[in-house]
């Protein structure tokens, strides 16, 4: 049997990290077993769903490195749902209901007031034809519910273990609205049957849905035992609050805009909630060895934004220049160069921060110079180019001997004058990237540098 999984988002908002975790776990499960990954857009909610959100879902998955073997849209499968309607109705498992939303809400409140769980009372089954006619005369079209059987529903969940529901405690689900549009419960089951899904891996908020859907699958002629289920604990933020794509909580597009590397995020999402070490990876395939759903616990995992930041920095620190060259060029830094990248990568948390050091080394800086007398003495000792990794040590040794300064009193004012920063990459690596002309200007100012024979390079121009 070929393992076949599906990720089935509704295009009603941006994917957040909780959604991405489900997608990634599905992808890893399928690929670890030589199986297939299906992307299915559950787009029957036409009021809230948009083409823009649908496109964003595809873009976010590609950014995360997740591709799909098959693609489907529920909006393209209306005939399949209509066929299921006819079959269920003919089998006596579908019945018409006419209550208004207000009437249903009144019933729900009465049940809650009596301490009873809200469950449809199956009034639609006992309605007389005269009662139905009164609703129709008042302009009410029927909606349709699936009649559940009272027997037990049980399965062995790949994460939760043994799960058991009593059918008599479940509420008959609505499958078709008054406008004849099918709802998620029906569409999901029909699609899983038709598209050959073998494993349904999703959030634990769908556990009760699974009990209903197993009965529905059986009523449609499928073998419920053909499906395996795994329900993952829902991801929370660091405070324990649930994530919501409608609120834009930690959306993938937000993280991407902030400069998060996709493989840093993937490394965290694949291991969060397991006892395995969380590590940034360079390719999703690195996460496949040893991947096992049994490693996921039942406790609510918390997504720590700071941990993601640490992973992101760790990934950048070992990333070769060839891996970022095209992206830096796209950001307008086509002359960044491998030497500058190696110099700064250990001091950045996102790729965008590399731009700060690019401007320091390739542009002009407006710096408020302190201790100008000392800086002027240092400028007189600047050696001629070419410069290399030994130039900083040789120059500062001369400055030390000439000024009798040591330690912080020597190095701090030089670093501040040359970079405008208290801290950063090793100056031995930065100084050759800054170059003599810029260094001279920053030490003594433009007028003094020109008077002394220096050539000032305007902001945005490369060194000659």
The model's pLDDT over 12-31, given as tens digits with 9 standing for 90+, comes to 999 999 999 999 999 999 99
Share of the chain above pLDDT 70, in %: 95
Per-residue pLDDT of 392-430, as tens digits, reads: 999 999 999 999 999 999 999 999 999 999 999 999 999
Q: How far is CA 230 from CA 8, 289, 394, in A?
A: 15, 20, 63
**What is the structure's pLDDT at 457?**
40
DSSP classification of residue 242: B
Tokens representing residue 431 in the block: 């100084």
Q: How far is CA 372 from CA 83, 284, 328, 412, in A?
A: 85, 53, 35, 13
Residue 12 in 3-state DSSP?
Answer: coil
Bridge partners of 72?
Answer: 40
Per-residue pLDDT of 231-289, as tens digits, reads: 999 998 888 888 765 555 689 999 999 999 999 999 999 999 999 999 999 999 999 99
Q: How far is CA 281 from CA 72, 284, 323, in A?
A: 30, 7, 13
Do residues 442 and 367 lie in contact, with contact meaning Cβ atoms separated by under 8 Å?
yes
Nearest to 192 by CA among 80, 62, 293: 80
Nearest to 19 by CA among 307, 324, 269: 269
Lowest mean pLDDT among 35-39, 47-51, 70-74, 178-182: 47-51
132 φ, ψ to 5°? -60, -40
Do residues 186 and 176 lie in contact, with contact meaning Cβ atoms separated by under 8 Å?
yes
Q: What gap in Å lies between CA 262 and CA 66, rounded to an integer?
A: 10
Q: What gap in Å lies between CA 24 and CA 284, rounded to an integer?
A: 9
Q: Exposed (0-12), middle (13-18) or buried (19+): which is 114, by Cβ within 10 Å?
A: exposed
Per-residue pLDDT of 28-44, as tens digits, reads: 999 999 999 999 999 98
Q: How confident is the model at residue 93 (pLDDT cuts 50, 70, 90)?
A: very high
Q: What gap in Å lies between CA 231 and CA 22, rounded to an integer?
A: 10
Per-residue pLDDT of 311-348, as tens digits, reads: 999 999 999 999 999 999 999 999 999 999 999 999 99
| Mean residue pLDDT across the chain | 92
Q: What is the mean pLDDT of residues 430-443?
A: 95
Count other Cβ atoms within 10 Å, centred on residue 47: 5
pTM over cut 0.85: yes
The whole-angstrom distance between residue 335's C-alpha and the CA centroid of its chain comes to 31
| Residues sharing a CB contact under 8 Å with residue 82, sequence separation 6 or more, in sequence order | none
Do residues 201 and 230 lie in contact, with contact meaning Cβ atoms separated by under 8 Å?
yes
**What is the structure's pLDDT at 322?**
96
171 φ, ψ to 5°? -95, 135
Residue 222 in 3-state DSSP?
Answer: coil
Q: How confident is the model at residue 458 (pLDDT cuts 50, 70, 90)?
A: very low
End-to-end Cα distance, the chain: 65
Q: What gap in Å lies between CA 338 and CA 329, rounded to an integer?
A: 12
Lowest mean pLDDT among 115-119, 139-143, 452-456: 452-456
Q: What gap in Å lies between CA 23 and CA 2, rounded to an integer?
A: 19
Angle, alpha carbons 322-325-331 (nearest 5°): 165
Bridge partners of 243?
Answer: none
Q: What is the mean pLDDT of residues 94-112?
A: 93
Do residues 316 and 348 lie in contact, with contact meaning Cβ atoms separated by under 8 Å?
yes
Residue 29 in 3-state DSSP?
Answer: helix
Q: What gap in Å lies between CA 202 and CA 5, rounded to an integer?
A: 10
Q: What gap in Å lies between CA 361 and CA 345, rounded to an integer?
A: 14
Q: What gap in Å lies between CA 56 and CA 60, rounded to an integer?
A: 6
Tokens representing residue 67 in the block: 């591709």
Q: What gap in Å lies between CA 354 and CA 19, rounded to an integer?
A: 30
């Amino acid at each position: 049997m070929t393992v076949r999984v599906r990720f089935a988002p509704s295009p009603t908002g941006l994917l957040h990290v909780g959604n991405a975790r489900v997608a990634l776990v599905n992808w890893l499960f399928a690929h670890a077993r030589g199986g297939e990954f299906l992307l299915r857009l559950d787009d029957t909610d036409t009021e809230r769903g948009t083409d823009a959100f649908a496109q964003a879902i595809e873009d976010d998955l590609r950014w995360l490195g997740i591709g799909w073997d098959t693609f489907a849209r529920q909006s393209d499968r209306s005939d399949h749902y209509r066929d299921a309607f006819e079959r269920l109705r003919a089998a006596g498992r579908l019945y018409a209901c006419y209550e208004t939303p207000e009437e249903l809400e009144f019933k729900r409140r009465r049940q809650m007031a009596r301490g009873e769980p809200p469950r449809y009372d199956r009034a639609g089954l006992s309605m007389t034809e005269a009662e139905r006619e009164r609703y129709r005369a008042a302009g009410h079209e029927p909606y349709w519910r699936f009649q559940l059987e009272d027997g037990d529903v049980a399965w062995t969940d790949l994460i939760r273990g043994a799960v058991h529901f009593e059918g008599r405690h479940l509420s008959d689900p609505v499958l078709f609205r008054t406008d004849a549009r099918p709802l998620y419960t029906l569409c999901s089951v029909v699609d899983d049957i038709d598209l050959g899904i073998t494993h349904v891996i999703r959030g634990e908020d769908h556990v009760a849905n699974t009990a209903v859907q197993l009965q529905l699958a059986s009523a449609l002629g499928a073998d419920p035992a053909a499906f395996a289920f795994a329900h993952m604990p829902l991801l929370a933020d660091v405070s324990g609050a649930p994530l919501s794509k409608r609120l834009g909580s930690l959306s993938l597009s937000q993280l991407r805009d902030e400069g998060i590397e996709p493989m840093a995020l993937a490394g965290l999402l694949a291991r969060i909630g397991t006892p395995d070490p969380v590590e940034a990876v360079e390719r999703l395939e690195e996460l496949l060895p040893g991947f096992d759903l049994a490693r996921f616990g039942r406790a609510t995992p918390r997504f720590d934004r700071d941990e993601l930041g640490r992973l992101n920095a760790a990934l950048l620190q070992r990333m070769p220049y060839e891996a970022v060259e095209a992206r830096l060029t796209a950001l307008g830094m086509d002359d960044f160069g491998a030497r500058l990248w190696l110099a700064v990568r250990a001091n950045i948390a996102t790729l965008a921060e590399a731009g700060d050091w690019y401007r320091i080394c390739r542009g002009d800086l407006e710096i408020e110079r302190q201790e100008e007398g000392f800086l002027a003495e240092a400028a007189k000792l600047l050696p001629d180019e070419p410069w290399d990794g030994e130039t900083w040590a040789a120059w500062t040794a001369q400055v030390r001997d000439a000024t009798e300064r040591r330690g912080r009193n020597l190095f701090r004012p030089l670093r501040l004058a040359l970079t405008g920063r208290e801290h950063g990459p090793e100056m031995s690596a930065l100084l050759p990237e800054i170059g003599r002309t810029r260094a001279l200007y920053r030490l003594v100012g433009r007028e003094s540098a020109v008077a002394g024979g220096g050539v000032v390079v305007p902001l945005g121009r490369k060194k000659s």
